[in-house]
């Protein structure tokens, strides 16, 4: 598993951050996981909603960026399931909580994007159902992405797009 560091510029400021990638391995195979991570905003570990047993795959990568929202702590997150440059599924979601409890919220739009092999853009958008603590949309590209490219998710809430949370796909 790799930890990538990236630097981004936004206006007159520059910042550097590190995103930690987590791996879930119920059926590990030999070799590297094949999914790394990088993003252009503050990064924190994923606050993923629980996965159903049928959702569990050998390799996952996830990450989050902070964003505005209804709670005290709000994140835009991405979970990617796949192996190497093949991406089976992407969950884009927004998480929100206060100091004491998850927040119920609605009207979240999720946009995921990247570049498939051959240079074909992948860009899908969906609307999440209302959620308590998290509201998400699942996407199923079941395709290969350009090696060393980013698969990203961003969320729209209260008429404001979040900074994207991105996962690097590589062999």
- Higher-pLDDT residue of 23 and 166 is 166
* Pair of tokens at residue 103: 């927040």
CB 3 within 8 A of CB 18: yes
Residues in the chain: 171
- Which one has a higher pLDDT value, 3 or 112? 112
Domain ranges of the chain: 20-169
Q: What is the fold, at CATH topology level, of the domain defined by 20-169?
A: Immunoglobulin-like (2.60.40)
With bands split at pLDDT 50, 70 and 90, how would you rate the model's confidence at 21?
Answer: very low
Sequence-separated (6 or more) residues with CB below 8 Å from residue 31: none
| pLDDT band at 109; cut points 50, 70, 90 | very high
Query: Which tops the pLDDT comparison, 58 or 154?
Result: 154
Residue-level pLDDT at 20: 32
For residue 90, the cross-strand partners are 80, 139
Coil, helix or strand at residue 119:
helix
Q: Between 89 and 25, whose confidence is greater?
A: 89
Does residue 57 or residue 17 have the better pLDDT?
Answer: 57
Contact 131, 47 (CB under 8 A): no
Please tell me the predicted confidence (pLDDT) of residue 17: 31
**pTM for this structure?**
0.69
């Amino acid at each position: 598993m790799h930890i990538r560091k990236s630097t981004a510029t936004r206006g007159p400021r520059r910042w550097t951050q590190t995103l930690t990638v987590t791996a879930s391995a119920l059926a590990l195979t030999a070799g590297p996981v094949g999914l790394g991570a990088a993003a252009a905003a503050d990064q924190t570990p994923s606050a993923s909603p629980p996965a159903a047993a049928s959702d569990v795959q050998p390799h996952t990568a996830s990450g989050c960026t902070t964003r505005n929202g209804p709670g005290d702590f709000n994140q835009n997150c991405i979970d990617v399931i796949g192996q190497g440059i093949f991406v089976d599924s992407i969950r884009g979601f927004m998480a929100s909580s206060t100091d004491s409890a998850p927040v119920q919220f609605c009207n979240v739009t999720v946009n995921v994007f990247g570049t498939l092999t051959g240079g074909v853009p992948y860009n899908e958008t969906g609307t999440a159902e209302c959620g308590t603590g998290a509201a998400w949309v699942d996407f199923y590209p079941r395709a290969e992405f350009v090696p060393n490219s980013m698969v990203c998710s961003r969320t729209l809430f209260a008429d404001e797009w979040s900074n994207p949370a991105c996962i690097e796909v590589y062999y």
